[in-house]
Structure 1
Amino acid sequence: MKRSIVIIDDHVLIANALSGIISNFNQFEVLYVCENGQDFQDKLKEKHPVPDLVLLDISMPIMDGFETAKWLKTTHPNVLIMALSMQDDDDSLIKMIKNGAKGYMLKNVHPTELEIALNTIANKGHYFPEWAASKIFTSISDDTIDAKLKIKISDRETEFLKYSITEMTYKEISEKMFCSPRTVENYRDSLFEKLELKTRVGLAVYALKNGYTE
């Protein structure tokens, strides 16, 4: 079964080019294209289908990517958001993650990388290229880490943190930990709350920076 995608980008040529490229991917289908977040909201009100994944441009008129991501996070939390940008600046990356983006990609990526990125976010729930993960890593200040080290993390949560760095899915982690996938999700949610994080990438960065490795 194909995963459905909506492209939100005010640059018509780029949006149509992306749609054409993605149409060649067996695993995905583009439902429709929107010019901005408001256009997307309007289409949903008109009973257009809600997609599995949104490719969301950041810089748009009327309703930009930041606002749209924040709205989606509240109204349709199951929709995966892949941010699209022409720039790799730290502020946009961190702000989009805080607003609910589960992936971040530059518009000049090769179609092969685009397909890998879409498959990764669809199957694992997140996708951040190496340059983005590096920026997220450095965005966590030493003061913040020092404060978080004082937080009590259980042995089982520590074990989960070590696995969070790997490419394993939550189901595979549950098999390694000899527990149910739901229990693993509980460990994840507990750590999200304790460490004030929102993504698995954030957990992985925290684990690496604090020595939670195998």
Structure 2
Amino acid sequence: MSPDKIDIAIVDDHTLFRQGLMSLLTESGRVNIVFDASNGADMIQKIGKHPLPSVILMDITMPVMDGYESTKWVKQNHPDVNVLALSMFEEDKPIIEMLKNGAGGYMLKQSKVADLVNAIAGINEHGFYINELVSGKLLRNIQNKQAEKNDYSDLNANELRFLELCCSDLTYKQIADQMCLSPHTIDNYREALFQKFETKSRTALVISALKNGLIKI
């Protein structure tokens, strides 16, 4: 085994996908797969019996113990191990949940193998991986556990309610209906909060609000 190879583990309940991914990643010559597991509980049983991986590729939807719970366990018990979420979902909510529980990056399963290998290398080196799904500023905020909370005491009740509803899968129009406000007013809230939180995406806005204790999921 080359010392330059990155030790990884793959946690995914789909056996054929897991085995195929193992084969493709091994062929890349840049990773060494120390173990694979079908869910979080299986991962916990195996992680103590093998060399500790530097990166774990983590599926989200799994039986027994899903990716959210598994990622949280990894970061609590092995904080130096980086978790790269690998999922079919590209909606805001699963991305937010995985990052909230400690994942350092998020890739789609339909990604090219070369892109996935680069993501593994990136998260191994920096502790996070930046792509179009997750902004760099967002991940730096999530990873920086020592960052001081900003003062957002001037947010009004409607703005806080808007932030809470942004955690859901409601569209902005549905949020407007829920709050009995016009879509134009909701657009104004969104743009004002984007500016205040120095971000340009709904995902980053929610993570910043979570980080500063303004809302809970």
Give the Cα separation in 2 of the matches to 1:189 and 1:42: 28
Task: Kindly state the Cα deviation for residue 43 of structure 1 after the two structures are TM-superposed.
Answer: 1.2
Task: Tell whether the 8 Å contact from 1:105 to 1:128 is kept in structure 2 after alignment.
Answer: no
Query: Does the 8 A contact of 2:13 with 2:63 survive in 1?
Result: yes
2:116 matched residue in structure 1: 114
The offset of 1:193, in angstroms, is 3.4
CA distance in 2, matches of 1:44, 1:120: 22
Distance change (3 Å), C-alpha of 1:207 and 1:115: farther
SS in 2 for 1:23: helix
Residue 18 of structure 1: CA displacement?
A: 1.1
Structure 2 counterpart of 1:3, which letter?
Answer: I
Answering whether residue 19 of structure 2 is matched by residue 16 of structure 1, we say yes
- Correspondence list, 1:7-156, <5 A: 7-45=10-48, 47-133=49-135
- Structure 1 counterpart of 2:60, one-letter code: I
Q: Work out whether 1:193 is the aligned partner of 2:196.
A: no
- Does structure 2 retain, via aligned residues, the 8 Å contact 1:6–1:54? yes
TM-score (norm 1): 0.63
Query: Relative to total residues, which structure has the larger helix share, 1 or 2?
Result: 1
The answer (yes or no) to whether the contact 1:52–1:79 under 8 Å persists in 2 is yes
**Are 2:198 and 1:209 aligned?**
yes
TM-score, normalised via structure 2 length: 0.63
Aligned length: 152
Q: Mark the CA change 1:44 to 1:89 in structure 2 (over 3 Å): closer, same or farther.
A: same
Which structure: larger Rg?
2
Give the whole-Å Cα distance in 1 for the aligned partners of 2:86 and 2:110. 10
Structure 1 runs (4+) deviating above 6 angstroms are 205-208
**8 Å Cα contact 1:9/1:15 also seen in 2:** yes
Question: Which residue identity does 2:42 align to in structure 1?
Answer: D
Contact map agreement 2:30 2:117 (CA 8 A) in 1: no
1:63 offset after TM fit, Å?
0.3
Work out the CA distance in 2 between the residues paired with 1:69 and 1:32: 16
CA RMSD in angstroms comes to: 2.9
Q: Secondary structure at the match of 1:193?
A: coil
Shift of 1:76: 0.4
Contact map agreement 2:88 2:108 (CA 8 A) in 1: yes
Write out per-residue CA displacement over residues 156-175 of structure 1, whole angstroms, 9 at most, x where no aligned residue. xxxxxxxx7xxxxxxxxxxx
Deviation (angstroms), 1:128: 3.0
Unaligned runs of 5+ in 2: 152-193, 200-217
What SS does structure 2 have at the residue aligned with 1:84? strand
Preserved contact between residue 84 and residue 106 of structure 1 (Cα < 8 Å):
yes
SS in 1 for 2:42: helix
Please give the alpha-carbon distance, in whole angstroms, between the structure 2 residues aligned to 1:128 and 1:105: 10
Deviations 1:191-213 (A, max 9, x none): x23359xxxxxxxx999927xxx
| 2:207 aligned partner | none
